[in-house]
Amino acid sequence: MKSNQDTTHFVAPLEETPLLATDAVKTDQAPLSLWADAWRKLRRRPLFIVSAVMILVILVVAFFPGLFTQTPPNDNCQLANSDGAPSAGHPFGFTFQGCDVYARVIYGTQASVMVGVFAVIGVLIIGVTLGALAGFYGGWIDAVIARLGDIFFALPLVLGALVVTQLPFFRENKSVWTVIMIIVLLAWPQMARLTRGAVIEVRNADFITAARSLGVSRIQSLIKHVLPNALAPIIVLATMELGVFIVLEATLSFLGIGLPGSIMSWGNDISAAQSSIRTNPAVLLYPAAALSITVLSFIMLGDALRDALDPKSRQR
């Protein structure tokens, strides 16, 4: 027969394991929502602060160019100043046509930023709407939207723009709005696919089931409950795509299929600087630098938002 053996239990002294202090919960404070927690984290991130300040400056330049220069960008062009060096009142020098480079960079901000902002708005309207319907209802709606998106995914963005711009309507009506329409037409599938995935993750949550059991219709449930809880990845992608669309406008203008030459933009100035790149590289440097800084600002902001809104990085 086996004899019973004494079992010794080791218990740490209470003063060495302050459980009350470790597991204490503040009951007098309301829990932070995703957006409140994200804002608290963003305020402490230098990346967010720097990018936000840079974007604010860019937007002020775009909407109020007269605050930064009093020189008309086109009305004061003189061939005597062709490829001229920087001088008083003209810190960036002159273009081949004798126009002030600094004034053109300042006034070119408006068209480039305008294309990016309104293209993102259009992509959000179409992509979020179609992606939400596909993810929430599924079935044949999801299949049709998915196959339609696959058609656009198979077409490279720049190549698709080259094809679309040759259509009679776009070829005869070149403007800021036609460039925006082309970008929206070709770029919505990525937003739709992201929205579809975010909606699928949320649609079967307990609070959605509770809302449906209380008599909320499916469309009301989608608009009031599903979409607000699926906005985090959508906002991050929209922020990054704004910078991408500004680059796309510059690319199309550089290729001669974007904005007409009569509209000042960084892409047009970079394209026009090709003839002077060897004799006066500064004509190319300054609009290219403005474009790079703007795109970098939006990418930095998107990275900061992604880190703050990612549920996996939140402390539990």
At 262-313, the pLDDT tens digits run 788 888 888 888 877 788 888 888 899 999 999 999 999 888 888 887 655 5
Can you tell me the distance from the alpha carbon of 106 to that of 209, in angstroms, rounded to the nearest whole number? 53
Contact criterion met (CB below 8 Å) for 245 and 237: no
pLDDT reading at 5 higher than 70: no
Digit-coded pLDDT (tens) for 133-169: 998 888 899 899 999 988 888 888 888 888 888 888 8
Angle value at C-alpha 190, between 195 and 235, nearest 5 degrees: 50
Q: pLDDT-based confidence at 316, cuts 50/70/90?
A: very low
Q: Rank 115-129, 159-173, 212-226 by mean pLDDT and report only the highest.
A: 115-129
Contact criterion met (CB below 8 Å) for 141 and 133: yes
Contact criterion met (CB below 8 Å) for 178 and 209: no
pLDDT reading at 76 higher than 80: no
pLDDT reading at 18 higher than 80: no
What is the DSSP-derived secondary structure letter of residue 87?
B
Q: What is the pLDDT of residue 75?
A: 61
Q: How far is CA 306 from CA 47, 101, 118, 187, in A?
A: 12, 36, 22, 20
Q: What is the pLDDT of residue 297?
A: 92
Tokens 């902001």 belong to which residue?
Answer: 301
pTM exceeds 0.85: no
**Paired tokens of 100:** 């002030």
What is the DSSP-derived secondary structure letter of residue 151?
H
Average pLDDT rounded to a whole number, residues 164-187: 87
Percent of the chain clearing pLDDT 90 (strictly above): 21
- For residues 230 and 23, which has the higher predicted lDDT (pLDDT)? 230
